Amino acid sequence: SAVISQKPSRDICQRGTSLTIQCQVDSQVTMMFWYRQQPGQSLTLIATANQGSEATYESGFVIDKFPISRPNLTFSTLTVSNLSPEDSSIYLCSVGDRGNTEAFFGQGTRLTVV
C-alpha cells in the first residue's frame, strides 16, 4: 500500500485566515482525494484532485473556499480559505484508483479555528 504523508498534523488558526495542507505519496497514484470529517461524523468527500487539471468538487464545496493543487502524481495541497469556526474539522488526504482498489489515508490534519 502507498505511504501517505500529510502535514501539518494539527493547527490552530485565526478566523479569516487560511490553512494549506500538504499530502505527499511515496508512489505515483491516479486518484487523490480530500475528505473532511467533522466532530462525531463520518467522512465527506470534498473533491478529487486531478493531476494537470482543475479539481472535481462535490456538491456543497467550492473552489474559492477549498482551492486544491495537484502539480504531479505524488503531491497535492488543499487550502481551506477564509476560516470560520465551522471549518474546525479533521481533513484527510486519501489515494486510490478506479475499480476495486482500496483507498488509503494520510494521518489527517486536525484544524481548530478560533
Our finding on whether 48 is near another protein (CB under 8 A) is yes
| Cα–Cα dist 30/38, whole Å | 26
**Identified binder of another protein from the candidate list 45, 67, 81, 88, rule CB under 8 A:** 45
102 alpha carbon, distance to own chain's centre: 17
Helix (H, G, I), strand (E, B) or coil at 99: coil
Contacts of 53 (CB under 8 A, 6+ apart): none
- Closest CB 91 distance from another protein, rounded Å: 10
Our finding on whether 42 is near another protein (CB under 8 A) is yes
Which residues are near another protein by CB under 8 A? 1, 31, 33, 41-43, 45, 48, 90, 92, 94, 96-100, 102-108, 110
